[in-house]
Amino acid sequence: MVGEFRYRGVSSGHPNLRHYLLGNIFPGDVNGTISAADHNEFGDDPIVQSQSPYTSWTADRDLAIIRAGKGGLVLCLPTGLPPAGASWAWVASPDKFFESEVLLWGTRSGAGVSLP
């Protein structure tokens, strides 16, 4: 069904690629203080990326494939509420760029990994 999963395109040069290949999700800085709005607005800035506790996800798999580019990969996670005590949470994104974006705060494991 549409909407039950979120996708993340990861380029081949991403600094966390080795973790992502194992389905483990790590933001730039799990203790970072970058807000969801600033992550959305300035998320392409390497400094913001390195200090953000968020990773960006989309409901649009085709967009994730484009973001992954040649040699990249696509991650997939189910939506839904985290269990009590989880190290992650879905956070609404301002979605300024109309990418059906949602943010994942924190760390998470078990992501599906595929080549675009």
Closest CA to 8 of 90, 75, 69: 75
Residues 53-70: pLDDT tens digits? 999 999 999 999 999 999
* Cβ atoms within 10 Å, residue 39: 27
Q: Round to whole Å and give the CA distance between 91 and 89.
A: 6
- Phi, psi values for residue 25, rounded to 5°: -105, 125
Q: pLDDT-derived band of residue 97, with 50, 70 and 90 as boundaries?
A: low
- Say if residues 56 and 14 touch (Cβ distance below 8 Å): no
Model-wide pTM > 0.85: yes
DSSP labels for 88-110? EEEEE---TT-S-EEEEEE-B--
